[in-house]
């Protein structure tokens, strides 16, 4: 076999492999395959809306969810100083509420930040993938 004939055979084989990769994926048993069967769908508007709602909820909760904390603390101290056993119980309620309240605020902030980051990174990945596909497509044309 000459170099030219071997080179032509390798080019034809590589072109076939590239076309197969770009045009379809092997069907899984029992599945329909192809883009219609994709289970990951990212809607940029939904991500932004949910992230915004989490941010707004966190903002409202941080302002409105803390009204009772100072007076509960004052009442617990007054009961404890008055030798009432319920003072220590009320102080535990205060401390637990404060801990859970901060945890909830942190969770809402993480949801908001994560969805905003996901929306942004998804857009960047879509642009990157589109650019890569154009490059591969041009390379495929040269291989023919």
* Average pLDDT of the chain, as a whole number: 77
Q: Which domain holds residue 133?
A: 54-144
What does the alpha-carbon distance between residue 91 and residue 73 come to, in Å, rounded to a whole number?
Answer: 6
User: Within a domain: residue 127?
Assistant: yes
Is there a domain that residue 2 lies in? no
Condensed to tens digits (0 to 9), the pLDDT of residues 7-39 reads 888 877 766 655 444 445 556 555 444 445 555
Is 66 part of any domain?
yes
Q: What is the mean pLDDT of residues 61-69?
A: 85
| E strands in the chain | none
User: What does the alpha-carbon distance between residue 115 and residue 55 come to, in Å, rounded to a whole number?
Assistant: 10
pTM for the full predicted model? 0.51
Note whether residue 90 is domain-resident. Answer: yes
Quote the number of domains for the chain. Answer: 1
Q: Which residues contact 72 (CB under 8 A, 6 or more apart)?
A: 90, 93, 94, 97
pLDDT in tens, 93-111: 999 999 999 999 999 888 8
Q: Is residue 100 part of a domain?
A: yes
Tell me, yes or no, whether 17 lies in a domain.
no
2: its two tokens: 């000459």
Helix (H) or strand (E) segment spanning residue 19: helix 3-23
What pLDDT is recorded for position 89?
94
Establish if 117 belongs to a structural domain: yes
The pLDDT value given to residue 119 = 67
Do the domain assignments include residue 91? yes
């Amino acid at each position: 076999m000459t170099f030219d004939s071997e080179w032509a055979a390798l080019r034809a084989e590589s072109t076939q492999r590239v076309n197969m990769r770009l045009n379809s994926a092997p069907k899984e048993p029992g599945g329909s395959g192809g883009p219609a069967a994709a289970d990951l769908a990212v809607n940029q508007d939904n991500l932004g809306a949910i992230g915004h709602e989490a941010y707004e909820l966190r903002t409202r909760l941080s302002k409105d969810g803390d009204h009772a904390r100072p007076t509960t603390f004052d009442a617990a101290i007054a009961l404890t100083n008055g030798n009432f056993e319920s003072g220590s119980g009320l102080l535990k309620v205060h401390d637990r509420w404060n801990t859970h309240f901060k945890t909830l605020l942190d969770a809402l902030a993480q949801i908001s930040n994560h969805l905003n980051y996901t929306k942004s990174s998804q857009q960047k990945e879509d642009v990157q993938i589109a650019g890569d596909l154009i490059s591969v497509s041009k390379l495929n044309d040269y291989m023919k």
